[in-house]
Structure 1
C-alpha cells in the first residue's frame, strides 16, 4: 500500500542566486518515515526555478549565473514586459529555460541524489522574494 505526504516549504531568497535547499527538503522527507518512494518538488512562481546541480564547487553556480547573464541580460530592449523593472522579463525567460518541478527517487529512506548533487532554488530576480515550493512524497 502506498502512502502520501504533502507540504509547502517557504524560502526567503536574498536576490538573484542559487539557494541550496537540500537539507530542509531532506529533513522533511526523513520526518515522514518513508523507506521507498518518489519525491516531487514544484515551485509556485514564474521568475524562479528548481535545479539539481553540483554542490561541491561554488564556482559552478557562479558560472551558471554568468552564462545566463549573457544569454538573457537584464534590460534587453527585445522585451516589452517590464512591469517590475528591467529584470522582470529576463527572470521569466530564465524560469522558462529551467525547471519548475523535480522528481527525486527515495531509496532505503534517503533521497537518491549523487555524491555532489544538491537541490537548488534559483532566484531569477535581483531583489529577494519569499518563494514557495510544493512538496509531494508518495511511497511506503
Structure 2
C-alpha cells in the first residue's frame, strides 16, 4: 500500500462474512507493524485522508538525520514510528445486528507512514453472540 491514509472499511468487511451471523459482539483489528497504524475517521470527503496525512507530516516531519537518532532505514523511519504511536496499532469496534456499529460518516483507515512500507498484515478477531434463530443479517455495515 502506498504512503498515506487509506479507507479500508469495505475491504475489511469483505473478509468478514461471519459478521452477518452476529447479534452482538466485538471486532478487534490489529496491524502488525511499527510504522503503520489504524484509526477511524470521516469516510465521505476525499480531502480527509489527504489532510490527515499532511497533519501527521507536520507533527512528525522527515528531516535531517540530526532530528532523530533512529534512522536505520532512512529519513522516513523514525517519523513513521512516531506517527504510528500517535495513531495506534489497534481498533475495537462493537458489532450490532450483523454490522460494525460505525457512525454514518465513519470509516476504518489504514495509515501507511513509510515511503515504501511493503505488505502490511492485519490480525482480525471477532467474538460475540450469534443470532438465536441461526439466520443472517444483510447489508455492509
TM-score range, shorter chain: 0.7 to 0.9
1:1-140 maps to which residues of 2 (within 5 A)? Answer: 13-14=1-2, 16-32=3-19, 33-76=21-64, 77-140=66-129
Larger Rg: 2
Cα shift at 1:28: 2.7
Q: What is the TM-score when the length of structure 1 is the normalising length? A: 0.85
More strand by percentage: 1
| Unpaired stretches in structure 1, ≥5 consecutive residues | 1-12
Residue 55 of structure 1 and its aligned partner are, at CA, apart by: 0.7
Shift of 1:128: 4.0
Does the Cα contact within 8 Å between 2:6 and 2:49 map onto a contact in 1? no
SS of 1:131's partner is coil
Aligned residues: 127
Aligned match of 1:8: none
Specify every segment of 5 or more residues in structure 2 that has no aligned partner in the other structure, as ranges. 130-141
Q: Is the 1:41–1:103 contact (alpha carbons within 8 Å) kept by the matching residues of 2?
A: yes
**CA distance in 2: counterparts of 1:138 and 1:47, whole angstroms:** 27
**Whole-Å Cα distance in 2 between the matches of residues 137 and 28 of structure 1?**
11
The answer to whether the Cα contact below 8 Å between 2:39 and 2:91 also exists between their aligned partners in 1 is: yes
Q: TM-score, normalised by structure 2?
A: 0.84
